[in-house]
């Protein structure tokens, strides 16, 4: 067993010799780890945590910590997870509550990215991906092979169906259909040039005027992007800033926001 001398491991914790506990980790008295688990550094494992084989916990992950529930009074609840999961930096996984069954469940082969929160009594299937900053309230169910995009809040008691994909930044307040692509509308526009920012960076009036003219053609006129670029070229592009703008647009592989 490899336990760094700065780690604090309770004497009753069960840690096989094949595990690695890195510097400044804290492992509570009721934690049981499977074979080949790794705690990179500054990891907190607490509560009645049962983790399968080959789970990897990255720095500042907190798993099995007390639920963020005002009704919780220190009951002996926990987290149970399968094997081969990756728990990235600053992930928080709360243990269950007595009112919700007492256990938060995580399957196997999941990728739980940085800053994700999994609330108490949630049930996460296997082969799931929870992207950076996904925020699951208590009692949420995520079925097998589902993906929850970055910065997605999920309301308590919602279910995410199998093989579904939720686009980043989508607020979930109802169940998500299995096999679906679900996303919030993305009506994002470029409204104008960043005049104040350019002036603060010392752009001359001539430079600002040239960029402003290009933006009027690109955004405010009735021309599409190709027509606007053609018009700029016909007028003769003398400004390096406008030339950079045109080159940027022409190299866009996913289109531009306008």
Co-location of 122 and 217 in the same domain:
no
> Tell me: the pLDDT tens digits for 110-129?
999 999 999 999 999 999 99
pLDDT-derived band at 86 (thresholds 50, 70, 90) equals very high
Co-location of 62 and 134 in the same domain:
yes
So what's the pLDDT on residue 155? 98
Residues with active-site annotation? 120-121, 138
CATH code, domain with 243: 1.20.1180.10
Global pTM reads 0.90
Which residues, 6+ apart, have CB-to-CB distance to 172 below 8 Å?
152, 153, 154, 155, 158, 160, 166, 182
Co-location of 180 and 211 in the same domain:
no
Co-location of 171 and 202 in the same domain:
no
The reply to whether 255 falls in a domain is no
Co-location of 145 and 90 in the same domain:
yes
So what's the pLDDT on residue 2? 93
The reply to whether 106 falls in a domain is yes
User: Which of 123, 191, 179 is CA-nearest to residue 154?
Assistant: 123
Co-location of 93 and 215 in the same domain:
no
**Residue 202, domain extent:** 195-250
Percentage, residues of the chain above pLDDT 90: 91
The reply to whether 190 falls in a domain is no
The reply to whether 257 falls in a domain is no
Q: At which of 164, 185, 206 does a domain end?
A: 185
pLDDT-derived band at 172 (thresholds 50, 70, 90) equals very high
């Amino acid at each position: 067993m490899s336990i760094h001398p700065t780690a604090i491991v309770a004497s009753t914790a069960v840690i096989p010799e094949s595990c690695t506990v890195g510097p400044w980790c804290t492992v509570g008295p009721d934690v049981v780890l499977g074979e080949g688990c790794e705690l990179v550094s500054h990891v907190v494992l607490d509560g009645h945590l049962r983790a399968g084989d080959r789970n990897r916990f990255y720095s500042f992950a907190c798993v099995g910590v007390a639920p963020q529930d005002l009704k919780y009074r220190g009951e002996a609840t926990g987290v149970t997870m399968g094997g081969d999961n990756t728990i990235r930096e600053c992930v928080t996984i709360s243990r269950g509550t007595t009112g919700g069954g007492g256990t938060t469940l995580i399957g196997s082969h999941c990728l739980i990215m940085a800053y994700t929160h999994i609330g108490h009594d949630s049930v996460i299937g296997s082969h799931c991906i929870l992207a950076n900053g996904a925020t699951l309230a208590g009692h949420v169910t995520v079925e097998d092979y589902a993906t929850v995009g970055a910065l997605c809040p999920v309301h308590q008691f919602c279910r995410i169906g199998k093989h579904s994909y939720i686009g980043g930044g989508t607020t979930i307040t109802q169940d998500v259909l299995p096999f679906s692509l679900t996303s919030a509308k993305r009506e994002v526009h470029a409204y104008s040039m960043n005049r104040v920012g350019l002036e603060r960076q010392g752009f001359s009036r001539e430079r600002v005027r040239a960029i402003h003219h290009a933006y009027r053609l690109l955004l405010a006129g009735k021309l599409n992007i190709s027509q606007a670029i053609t018009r700029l070229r016909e007028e003769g592009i003398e400004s390096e800033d406008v030339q950079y703008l045109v080159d940027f647009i022409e190299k866009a592989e996913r289109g531009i926001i306008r």
